[in-house]
Every structure is written in C-alpha cells, then in structure tokens.
Structure 1
Amino acid sequence: MAAQDQETVSSMLVWNKQLFTLPDDLPLDPALRQAANQIAQEHLARVRALGPAWIAQERAAARNPGLLSHAQIVALFARSVNELAIWSVESGGPEQDEAWLKAALAPMACYAPASPYFSQRIAMIQAAPVDSRAGLLAGERELLSRWGTKRQHQPPRPTSQELQAADHAIARMRAGLSVAAAPMTPGLAGRLFDRDRKPGQSKAADRWDQCAKSQWWLASQLASGKVDKMTALTIYRYSTMIDASDYAPASAQKAAAPRPGDGKQAYPPVAGFFGVQGSTITETHIDDQGKFIKAQVVARAITVPGVYDNAPVAFESLFDAAALDAAEKRHKNSPGNPPVVRTEMK
C-alpha cells in the first residue's frame, strides 16, 4: 500500500509540474521568470506534502483504511482540478485585486490562451503595468498557500444573468440594436462578427475569444459605473475560470446525446468521468400565449467524490446546458402555465 500511495503522490506531482512549468518561449522579463519559477517550486513542495493527507482523507471518507482503487485516483484528481478553479476565482487580497484589474485590462492580457494555466497568469502579470507586479506576485503566493485548505470567504458564483450579460449584449449588437458598452478591439470584433467563422475550431482560439470577450465586458462594466469594481472583477474571474471540462480526458469531452425515447437528457460525459451527482434548478419564463421566452439556472446542489471542504466550483455548471435545454423543450409551447416555472433536474 505504501508503494501504491507513493505512486499516487508522484502522479499528482507530475501533473502539477506540467501545469506549473513555464514554456521557454514565453516572453518574460528575467526577474519575473525567476520569481514565477520560485513560486512554482514552492507549490510543488506543497503538493508533495499534501498528497498523503489527501489519500488519508479519501480513505476516511470511504471508511476503508486499505482503499486502493482507480476511484481514489480520480477523486484526488477532481480535488486538484477544483483547487485550480478556486485559485482562478478567489481574491488574494485588496492589493492583488487592484493589481489584477490592471492586468486583466492590459492589451496583451490574452496573450497565452493555449499555455498551462500558471503560464497564462504569469503572462498576464508580464502584460500588466510594472508597478503592479509586486502586488500580483504576492497575491499568487497567498492564493497558492491556501491550496488544500477550507476557504472561509470563497466568492459566490455570479448569477446566470450576470455571466451571460456579455453574450446578450453581443446578440443585440448582431441584431443592429444599441448597446452601452466599451469599444471592442478590432481583433475581437473581427472574430465575433465573422459570419463564416465556426466556433470550436480550436481550443486555443475559443479560449482567446472568451478571454478577450471577458476583458471587453469588464471594461464595459467599469466604464458604466453601474457595477462596483469587485463585482465586475468576480464576474470576469468566473467567466474566464478553468473548470472540469478543461482537464477531463478526451474520451469524456464529447457532447452527450439525448436518450432516445424517454425524453430525458443524457448524463454529461465529463460529469460521468468524475462521478458528479446532484440537481440543477431552472427558472423558465413563459409569455401569456404559453410560448417560451428564456430559462436560467437559479440553484445547484452538486457533490463530487474527493471534493469535501469547499464548493465544487469546477463542477457546478456541468449540468447547466442539459437543464436549460430540457427546460426550453418542456416549455416550448405551454399554454395555461404560470409566467415563471421552476424545474429541478436530477
């Protein structure tokens, strides 16, 4: 069992080393690269120390002190992915928040969308004003020091309406309607309004689009004066957050097909890989003719093997698409229903 545990910890270290290794061709100032590498080494030492404790916690949860199984490894992987997600949305303190606002709005903030997540964050620090680097690096150290601990002040997930506001604004612009928003960069405008471009052509391109779109919407919210800075920053962080779909194996990345005959939605493959369970509650709006207007997710209750101490941030939205699709199909034409209907999908 000791040998098996050591192999499990080694696998965790290998995965984290891949995530926290800076590519040689990433253009960084030497001092920033040195500081980032030091942070990465500190983190790998932390992961090495956490491994045995996580294994023991998993065995305690299973009430099996001799637990050795594939399920245990997947559970530890899920916990690691969730820690990454928390890192991407959590605040490192007021100084880091102010510095991160500057970094997120920098022209080159979306430079490295295809790089490992640590490299993306360091590339943003490189793009940020030089006088904000100390605060950003201190914030990274603070956030990573919390890895594996129970968070006391984890920022709540913004509402579906808040996270979809940028897409709704873009839809209005495509329809020729006026929108109060900051000007888009030519690159983002060209990609979003290219009629011949198909989404999903590459993961790197999709990530760049999401990063640039979130940057534009952050600038728009701050310019409007209607949203306070921390709310806007939290929406930005969640809209660019990495989640379980980014790290599930290729076999679990394919879209789920509806179950034939029974009208039920298929279990999303990514959720199936990680053993995610729970329910999603949608709120469907219907006009006075019984026609569907819109649906939005209003609550979730999600459990994930391996994720105990903190909200399963990386997994919470895995059932959203299926729940919204089911709500729309169920109320496509529902005369006699109330104007707002709540539905729970388990």
Structure 2
Amino acid sequence: MSVSAPTSIDARLSAHTTLRLGGPASRLVTAADADAVVAAVAAADAAGERVLLLGGGSNLVVADAGFDGTAVLLASTGVHTEPRPDGSVVVTVEAGEDWDAVVAATVAQGLGGFECLSGIPGRTGATPVQNVGAYGVEISDLLVDVDLYDRRSGTVREHVPAAELGLGYRTSVLKGRDDAIVLRVRFALSADGLSAPIRYAELARTLGVTAGERVSPAAAREAVLDLRRGKGMVLDAADHDTWSAGSFFTNPILPVADAPQVEGLTAWPAGEGFVKLSAAGLIQQAGFTRGHAGPGGRVALSSRHVLALTHRGGGHTEDLLALAREVRDGVAERFGVTLHPEPVLVGCSL
C-alpha cells in the first residue's frame, strides 16, 4: 500500500532546487512510490489543480511567485537488475532514485554505460525527459523503455519504448509537458567489466587513452567526477559555484551555412549539413568571463565555468533571469546566434 507524507501548505520550492531559488507551491505532497505519485496527481487533477513534478530540482528555475498548484515530490526508490541472453543487463530504476547513487551502484558492480554520466544531480525519472548527456554519452544510448502515467486517460502505460520518446539533443517528447509522468525507467548496460567507448576528447586525454577505447567503469567515473569538480558541477552545499541548474544554455545546432566563423570556437558535426557550436565558447568570445556578476552580485556566472549561472546567496529568480538575458542578448548581438535555456522554467521566461 502506498503512503504519502503529510501535505505541506505554501512550501517554498527553493528548498527543493539546486539553485535554492523559487517561491512557494500551494501545496507539496511527497510520494513514496509510483502508486503514491499516481494518487497524488490524480487527486490534484480531480480538484482542478495544476501539478508540478519535483525530483532533485537540478533542472528547474522556479519563479519568485512560486507555483499555484500541487507540487509532487518524487521519493520512489528501488533498483532491480536482470541479465539478458546477450550478456548485457537491464536495470530497472524507480523515478525517485537519486541518479548519481544509481550510477555509483552500477559502477561498483562492474556494469558499463552510466560512468560518463557520473556526478549529474537529480532524480532518475528526469533523465529521459531531458535526454541527459555528458562526456560523449546520452541517456538515449542506454534507454530501453519507461513506464508512464498518462494523465489524459488516467492510466499507466508500461514499457513505452525509447523509440517512441523522440529523444534528441537535451530533449524528448516528454519535455515541456505535464500530461505524461515518468514512473520508472529501464536501461541496458554492459556486463563485461568495461565502460562504454570513451568518445569525448577531454575525457580520453584525462584517462590517457585514444578515442573509442574502453576502460574500467570505475576509472571512467573517477575521471568524470574530477573533471566535473574542476568546473563546479558536483553539488557541494558550501560551494556557491554549485548553486546552479548545471549548464544553463544548450549548445546551438545550426546549418553549416549559418554558423558564424569564429576562430578557436569548438564545434562538432551534428548530422549532414549541421554543426553544433560550443555555447560556452560563444559566451566567452562575446566578452563574458568567469564570475561575471548579475544584479547586486547575488547571481553570477560560475567562477569556473561560464555555462553555469549560479546563485551567490540572497538572490531571487528574477536576478538569475536578468543575468541569463544579458548573456543571451550579448551572444546574439555579437554572433547572431540565439542561445536557448536547458533548464525547465516554471512560471517564468526569458
């Protein structure tokens, strides 16, 4: 039997986001398992209330006015591993599981695939929504299927294949909508004691291997964590550089003919006729430096990574949005390229 924690009224969402920003939700319900998630959402729907799903809050920018509705905090846990005939394994993870804890556990078992996604904050249910990726690996490389609660029909759809989710660069058909809620996720991992092929040049250099080689999952995880710590991208409550929503802007993908020719700017092939540009490179070459301060110094670009917008304490969401607009407009003016936010904006916009 599912049990939900007592409902909190006017609960400040800043306590549930890594930015530590955001006003109150009308009510906050903690859902301890998938059944409780369904029950909480169904009750809110029956009452005509809006619903906001909360996991680790690592990809949310919540308005200062908060959220007029019910916020459902995913606290469902459980990880199950099942071998497959081809020697790989399927790992089934409840949506409320802490993502990096899942990564650490699979790496400790010698399973390969998740290691390059180490150190990413948040809950597992959000990973397919955003098609989370880092250091050459994306969730789409590993995802088998998901179980969804369909709010329109009031039913649970089990084993919805990854192919139906429209997974693309930091997006899916689930992003930006709230009528389909991820309850659990299944991934395919290798069980031969080796990582996924190392594709990302910076990581390959750190590991001392050539692109395409495989290493132990543990070695890859430690290298990734070291790289992320150096960029302020591993959560630390005492470090304001980690009071962020991670990379705030996605790397823009443009037709080759429309891409600005900028000396020294990192770019990657992105399909026939397209190129992906480094958002961080564009920001730097537009004149924004690490630590660039926003309103009152309450927010700033990270002192270690210009792609992260950070809360330095005592700030408001509108401060962060003002800084984001300044960066976006500065890049557009300099290069004619419009950067788009990666986090989900709740009750606010750029």
TM class by shorter chain equals under 0.3
Considering only CA atoms, is the larger Rg found in Structure 1 or Structure 2? 1
Which protein has greater RCO, CA pairs closer than 8 Å, 6+ apart? Answer: 1
User: Which has the larger helix fraction?
Assistant: 1
User: Which has the larger strand fraction?
Assistant: 2
* TM-score normalised according to structure 1 size: 0.27
* TM-score normalised according to structure 2 size: 0.27
